Amino acid sequence: MKKVIVITGASSGFGALTARALAKAGHIVYASMRETKGRNAPQVKEIEGYATEHSVDLRPIELDVSSQESCNEAIQEIIEKTGHLDVVIHNAGHMVFGPAEAFTPEQLAELYDVNVLSTQRVNRAALPQLRKQKRGLVVWVSSSSCAGGTPPYLAPYFAAKAGMDAMAVVYARELTRWGIETSIIVPGAFTGGTNHFAHAGSPADKARVGEYEAGPIKVSRTMYSKVSPQSCLLMQMSRALRTPSSR
C-alpha cells in the first residue's frame, strides 16, 4: 500500500539513500532538507532528476529541523497536498570528533539541539496528524553506541544520540495507544556512502586537543629497552593511534 513518508536530513547519506529506496518501492516520499534554494540546490536537482529518470514520486521539500516554524510549514504543506501523512523518519543529525574535554558546553548544547531537539520540533508538527488518523509510523535513526561500544573521541555525539534514543523509547510507549508504531534503527559505523565523517565537527579548544594528542607519557628508546617485546609493541601501537595521520 502506498504511504506518504517524510525523511529529515535527506540531502545526502542515509537520508538520500532511504528516500530513493522508498520511492522506488512505490511510496510518496518527501526528501526534506534545509537551504533548498541555497547550498542544497544541487541536491534538489539530483532528487528531481532521479524522480524523472525512475518515474517515482520523490519530492524535495524545505524543512530546517532547527526551526519550529520551518517544521510546521513543511508538514502542513505535505498534508495539504496529500491529505495525510503515514511515516516520519528522524534521520537528520550531526557528528563531532575529538576529545570530550576540548568541546565547549555551547558546542555540546548545539549538538544536542541538532540530534535531539530537532526530533521534538518535527514531532510537534507531525504527530497531531498521525494521532488524528489513529495510525502511523515514527522511525528513529539511532546509533550503535546506544547498544554498547563507545570508542574514544565521540563522547559528545554519543551523548546526544543517547538522548534521542531515550526519547524514542518513551515516545513509543506514549504513542502506541493512538495506533502509532515506532521503529528505532541502530546502524553500525559507515565510513562510505555518507558525509557523516567528512562533515564532522571538531573541538573549539585546540590547545586541549593538542594536549590529548601529545598524551601524558613520552616514550623514549631507553624505556623501550626496559620492557618486554610485547609491551614495547603495545606502546608503539598506542603512540601511533594518537598520531592524527594514522586515523
Same domain, 129 and 10: yes
What CA–CA distances, in Å, run from 138 to 18, 89, 127, 131, 239? Answer: 14, 6, 9, 12, 44
Same domain, 176 and 233: no
β 28-33/87-90 pair status? unpaired
Same domain, 138 and 87: yes
> Contact, 3 vs 86, CB < 8 A?
yes
The confidence score (pLDDT) of residue 194 equals 62
> Contact, 196 vs 156, CB < 8 A?
no
Same domain, 126 and 61: yes
Tell whether 195 is covered by a domain: no
How many domains would you assign to the chain?
Answer: 2
- Kindly state the helix (H) or strand (E) to which residue 5 belongs, with its residue range: strand 4-7
Residue 213 burial (CB count, 10 A) = 12
Tell whether 177 is covered by a domain: yes
Its domain, for residue 83, covers 4-185
Same domain, 61 and 158: yes
Q: What angle do CA 67, 77, 141 make, to 5 degrees?
A: 55
Closest CA to 3 of 118, 164, 137: 137
Within the chain, what is the greatest distance between any pair of CA atoms?
A: 75
pLDDT tens, residue order, the chain (247 aa)? 899 999 999 999 889 999 999 999 999 999 999 999 999 999 999 999 999 999 999 999 999 999 999 999 999 999 999 999 999 999 998 888 899 999 999 999 999 999 999 999 999 999 999 999 999 999 999 887 776 767 788 889 889 999 999 999 999 999 999 999 999 998 776 666 666 666 678 889 999 999 998 888 764 444 444 545 555 444 444 544 444 443 3
Rg (C-alpha) for the chain, rounded Å, is 22
Same domain, 179 and 111: yes
The confidence score (pLDDT) of residue 221 equals 47
Domain end (from 134, 166, 185): 185
Grid cell digits, residue 159: 551523548
Catalytic sites, residue numbers: 157
> Contact, 95 vs 146, CB < 8 A?
no
Residue 149 CA to residue 235 CA, distance in Å, equals 23
Q: Residue type for 245, please?
A: S
The pTM of this model reads: 0.83
